[in-house]
Amino acid sequence: NTAHCYLQPVMHRPNLNVVTKAMTQKVLLEGKRCTGLVYEKNGKLNEVDCGKDVILSAGGIASPQILELSGIGRPSVLQQHGIKVQHELEAVGENFRDHLLPRAKWKLKVPKISYNTRAQGIGLVGQVLKYFATGKGFLSLPSSSLGAWLKTRPELATPDIQMQFIPYSVESAEKRKLHSFPGMTIACFQLRPESLGSVHIRSDDPYEHPAIRFNFLSDPIDVRTNIDGVKMMREIVDAKPMDPYRDEEFYPGKSVSSDDEIEHFLREECETGYHPMGTCRMGRGPNAVVDDQLKVHGLEGLRVADASIFPTMPSGNTNAPCIMVGEKAADLIKNSY
Ligand SMILES: Cc1cc2nc3c(=O)[nH]c(=O)nc-3n(C[C@H](O)[C@H](O)[C@H](O)COP(=O)(O)OP(=O)(O)OC[C@H]3O[C@@H](n4cnc5c(N)ncnc54)[C@H](O)[C@@H]3O)c2cc1C
C-alpha cells in the first residue's frame, strides 16, 4: 500500500498538499514549458502554477489521456477531437501492452482445502473474525497465494509464462461470487507479450474514457505461448500427486482441447490481467515519449512517472516495478535541483 508506506509518514510536511477526489483535466503549457495544471473538484475548476516540475502519475491509461487533452500527442488524434496541437509527439498512447490472463478452474474432491467451502455462510463469519483477530485467512489473501515462472519451450533462456494458483473459484471475474462447490483456479500469463495496442482519447471531454485497444494475440508468438500456457496448467493439475484432490476441470472444460479450440477460448473469453503499460514509453526517437530522466521529450517542466513509461513489459506483475519507477523518479528529481 503505497499511500500507507510513502504518503502517510510525510503528511505532516508543510510543503505537501494532497488534494483528493479531484480530477486533473490537463497540464498547462506556455510555449514548450509546462507551467501547471487544471483540476476539477466539486464542480469547480482550479489552476495550479508550477515553477519546477509537474509529475504526471495517472497510470498507463490516464497519463496518455491527460497528455492528449493537453494538446501533447499525435496531431491526427488531437485534431480529430478539436484539440489544438501544442506539442507533437507521435508515441503518446502507442506501445500499449497488457497481460492477457487465461484462467482455468477445477472442482476439488477435498472440500476443506478450498475457500469456497471455508469462506461461505458461517465459515465467512469465521474468516472475518480470524482476519480481525490475526490478520490471516481468506480476507488476507493476495491475488494469488502461489506463483510459478515456467518455460513453455526448453530452449528458452528464461521463463516466458507466470502461473498464479488461487485456492478458490468464482463465477466470474466481475461478480467474484464463490462457487457453491469446492473449487480452485489457475491463471497463467505470457510474461513479455509482443502484441502492441494503443490508448487514445475519444473526445475532448476529460470524463469520457479513452479508447483502449488491447490488440491481444495480434503477434503469432503470443498465440503460441498462451496456448502452451493453458496446456501446462492442465499438465500440472493432471499430474499424479494431484489425484487425491483434483475433480473435473469445469472451465473452460475438456471440450476446449485442440490448439484451435484453445485459441478461440483465449480470443473470446479471456481478459486483461490489469497491467497496462508503455503508453508514454521511455526511450529515444519517435517511438518514445519520455527520456531517461522521465522528462517529456521536447518540453521543459513535465515528467511522467508510472507504468506508462515502461519501455516494455516487466517479467511479472507490475505493481512493484511501478513503485521502483516512483523511487527512481524521486532520486532523479532530487538530483536535478
Ligand atoms: C484489479 C487489479 C488487480 C491488480 N493486481 C495486481 C497484483 O496482484 N500485483 C501487481 O503487481 N499488480 C497488480 N495490479 C496492477 C497494479 O495495480 C498496477 O500496475 C499499478 O498500480 C500501476 O501503477 P501506476 O502508478 O502506473 O497507476 P495507478 O496505480 O493506476 O495510479 C494512477 C492514479 O492516478 C489516478 N488518476 C487517473 N486519472 C486521473 C485524473 N485525471 N485526475 C486525478 N487522478 C487521476 C488514479 O485514480 C490512480 O490513483 C492490479 C491492477 C488492478 C486494476
pLDDT-derived band at 175 (thresholds 50, 70, 90) equals: confident
Q: 189 CA distance to ligand 1 centroid (A)?
A: 19
Residue with CA nearest ligand 1 atom 41: 24
On whether the CB atoms of residues 325 and 306 are closer than 8 A, the answer is yes
DSSP tag of 177:
P
pLDDT at 76 over 90: yes
- Answer with the residue of higher pLDDT: 262 or 173: 262
pLDDT at 176: 82
pLDDT at 276: 98
Alpha-carbon distance 78 to 90, whole Å? 11
pLDDT-derived band at 5 (thresholds 50, 70, 90) equals: very high
pLDDT at 317 over 90: yes
Residue with CA nearest ligand 1 atom 34: 58
pLDDT at 173 over 80: no
Alpha-carbon distance 288 to 194, whole Å? 17
pLDDT-derived band at 174 (thresholds 50, 70, 90) equals: confident
Instruction: For domain 100-193+218-272, give the fold.
Output: Cholesterol Oxidase; domain 2 (3.30.410)
Which of 32-36, 122-126, 234-238 bottoms out in mean pLDDT, i.e. has the lowest?
122-126
Instruction: For domain 2-96+276-335, give the fold.
Output: FAD/NAD(P)-binding domain (3.50.50)
Residue linked to cell 471475474: 173
Single out the residue of 180, 208, 214 nearest to residue 196, CA to CA.
Answer: 214
Residue with CA nearest ligand 1 atom 30: 59
ipTM confidence: 0.99
pLDDT at 45: 98
pLDDT at 143 over 90: no
Catalytic residues: 275
Measured from the Cα of 23, ligand 1's closest atom is: 42
- Every domain range in the chain assigned CATH 3.50.50.60: 2-96+276-335
Question: Tens digit of pLDDT for each residue in 92-141?
Answer: 999 999 999 999 999 999 999 999 999 998 999 999 999 999 999 999 99
- Every domain range in the chain assigned CATH 3.30.410.40: 100-193+218-272
- Answer with the residue of higher pLDDT: 156 or 121: 156
Q: 98 CA distance to ligand 1 centroid (A)?
A: 13
